[in-house]
Amino acid sequence: MKNQQQRGPFIWAISLIAAGFGLLTIKEGGMTLIGNEAARAAAGNYVPFVLWFNFVAGFAYVIAGAGLWMQQHWAVWLAIAIAVATVLTFAAFGVHVYSGGAYEQRTVIAMNLRSLVWVMIAAIAWRRVLRAKLGRPEGATR
């Protein structure tokens, strides 16, 4: 396992962001799903499939963060899968909104943020972890 100095600031940052984001997602989603009626009422017009996706994905975020911290190549693929799944869920949410379904504006903002964060994490992980494990220098195209 590589030490923190070899890890580099980008891997250090995305690992902590992924894990922290995951823990917050689990807490917030869990409060709405499992919490009392006041928590559900405070959530407003949440979209159940989006809430469930985000809650379950929160666990994957934490696992990805730990794997990226350890610079494991499987964590890069997990980050890519999370990014793709998040964008697809956002697209399904868009269909829900377009067809007249109730929603909260904060869900639009949150899904934009989640999509952006995970696409960025996946891209950085690809460049900093997977390419390094494959022995390709940062600027190489093949």
Residue position matching structure tokens 């494959």: 134
Q: Are 77 and 60 in contact (CB under 8 A)?
A: no
Show the low-confidence residues of the chain (pLDDT under 50): 1-5
Domain interval for residue 63: 7-133
CA dihedral 107, 31, 26, 97 (to 10 degrees): -20
Residue 86 is assigned to a structural domain of this protein: yes
At residue 3, the pLDDT reads: 43
Residue position matching structure tokens 């923190």: 4
Q: What is the pTM of this model?
A: 0.86
At residue 141, the pLDDT reads: 54
Residue 140 is assigned to a structural domain of this protein: no
Query: What domain count does the chain have?
Result: 1
As a whole number of angstroms, the distance between CA 67 and CA 130 comes to 12
Q: Are 125 and 68 in contact (CB under 8 A)?
A: yes
Residue 138 is assigned to a structural domain of this protein: no
